[in-house]
Amino acid sequence: MKVAIVGMGVAGSYLAARLSAKNSWEIHAFDGLSRPDSRCAWGGSKYELSKLASQVGLDYSKYIFFEGKNLKVIFEDAHEIDIPLVGLTTFDKNGFEEDLEQVARKNGVAVHRGASVTLKDLSGFDVVFDATGVYRNVLPKLKNDMIFPNLEYRVEYGGSPPFRDFTVFPYHGLGGYGWFFPLREGEAHVGGGDRFHRQKQYVELFMRKYGGVPKKTIARPVRMLPPSMCEPIALEGNNHQVVGVGESIGCVFPLLGEGIIPSLQSVDVLMDSFSGCKVDVESYRRGLRKKFFYFEPIFRAIIAKWKGNWAAAKAVPGLIPSFIKVKAMEKRFGFQIRLTDLVEIFNST
């Protein structure tokens, strides 16, 4: 069995580590970058990330930069709400990806860095996994894709930072939001993403207002479509399969643009979907629907907001079944789940 993984971000490196620990297959992993280079806000629940990291023998606590106590949401009219946190952290995502790659290498994976490959280049492989995120370098491009641009800075503060905890700024029309995520002492991740392409305006306004020295600048898009809208998630050929994982198949929570944990979770779903040496694609679809049941209801609510059709009285009843299940998963998200907060965010933007 010969396997290729294209893309060694968080989804691809985790997949390489997990596959190589359970199988004696010949596994090759390809990435165009010479080393991991995290390109997003490095936040996530310590509870969920600890569980996922332990699957490959890693201790998530060693990567934590900061653990928050309260998420402050500041609206454009300056009123605020506070959301208690339940283990929300920022972490060393580069270090985490590097260690995932080392686990894979120790298990025999051949990692090819600085290597850009096409599906034609991989014709000799039995299974090819597309872990290339928004780019879908192996799977076909999506006709009606929905991708948000982001602008992000890693910022150093000589004096006191403007905020001491997680802080977000929803943009008008719920097109996106800006964020301030504390990292190590004197450092923060500052950024914004917006459907209406206002992220540069908002992020630069924040920098002028609060100061700080940008040490790294990143501009990358994020896919907002849920998995059911990212078909095909797999291709079946005579002699091989191509299967997507992570952000390439929409494993990003639409409300937050959060992709780290969903991408890792999609790998777990994939691991449960093998039938012999092949992926049972229908089982994979079912697993994704079950794991990310809350994506589509919130996605539909966001679309209604953009179209001017949002009304809490009409929308909330449709959200309640998912809310009840999500409420029981607070540790997965890292913050308290309260329907009143969701309604406030929708009503105040």
Decide: pTM greater than 0.85: yes
pLDDT for 41 equals 65
Distance between CA atoms of 30 and 112, rounded to whole angstroms? 5
Cα–Cα separations (whole angstroms), residue 339 to 104, 134, 298: 41, 30, 12
For residues 337 and 343, give the distance between their C-alpha atoms in angstroms, rounded to a whole number: 12
Q: Which residue has the tokens 């491009």?
A: 141
- DSSP output for 226-294: -GGGS--SEEE-SS-EEEE-GGGGT-SBTTTTB-HHHHHHHHHHHHTTEETTEE-HHHHHHHHHHHTTT
DSSP letters of 123-175? TT-SEEEE--GGG-SSSPPPTT--EEEEEEEEEE-SS--S-SS-EEEEPGGGS
Q: What is the structure's pLDDT at 119?
A: 87
Q: Which residues contact 221 (CB under 8 A, 6 or more apart)?
A: 134, 147, 148, 149, 150
Q: What is the pLDDT of residue 293?
A: 96
User: What tens digit of pLDDT does each residue of 263-319 get?
Assistant: 999 999 999 999 888 999 999 999 999 999 999 999 999 999 999 998 887 888 888
Q: How far is CA 348 from the centre of its chain?
A: 25
Phi-psi label, residue 16: left if phi above 0, alpha if psi -120 to 50, beta otherwise: alpha
Bond into 161 cis (ω within 30): no
Characterize 77-111 residue by residue with b for buried, 16 or more Cβ atoms within 10 angstroms of its Cβ, and e for exposed.
Answer: eeeeeebebbbbbbbbbeebbebbbebbeebebeb
Per-residue pLDDT at 38: 72
pLDDT (tens digit, 0 to 9) for every residue of the chain, 349 residues total?
A: 999 999 999 999 999 999 999 888 999 999 988 887 776 668 899 999 999 999 999 999 999 999 999 999 999 999 999 999 999 999 999 999 999 999 999 999 999 999 889 888 998 899 999 999 999 999 999 999 999 999 999 999 988 899 999 999 999 999 999 999 999 999 999 999 999 999 999 999 999 999 999 999 988 899 999 999 999 999 987 778 999 999 999 999 999 999 999 999 999 999 999 988 899 999 999 999 999 999 999 999 999 999 999 888 788 888 888 899 999 999 999 999 999 999 999 999 9
Cα(321)–Cα(330) distance, integer angstroms? 15
Under a CB-based contact definition with an 8 Å cutoff, are residues 265 and 224 in contact? Answer: no
Whole-number pLDDT of residue 266: 98
pLDDT at 218: 87
User: pLDDT value at position 39?
Assistant: 64
189 Ramachandran zone, left/alpha/beta (phi>0; psi -120 to 50):
beta
Nearest to 200 by CA among 184, 228, 187, 219: 219
Domains parsed from the chain with CATH numbers: 1-37+93-143+224-292 (3.50.50.60), 147-222 (3.30.9.10)
Distance of alpha carbon 299 from alpha carbon 41, whole angstroms: 21
Handedness of CA 180, 348, 226, 248 (dihedral sign): negative
pLDDT value, residue 179: 97
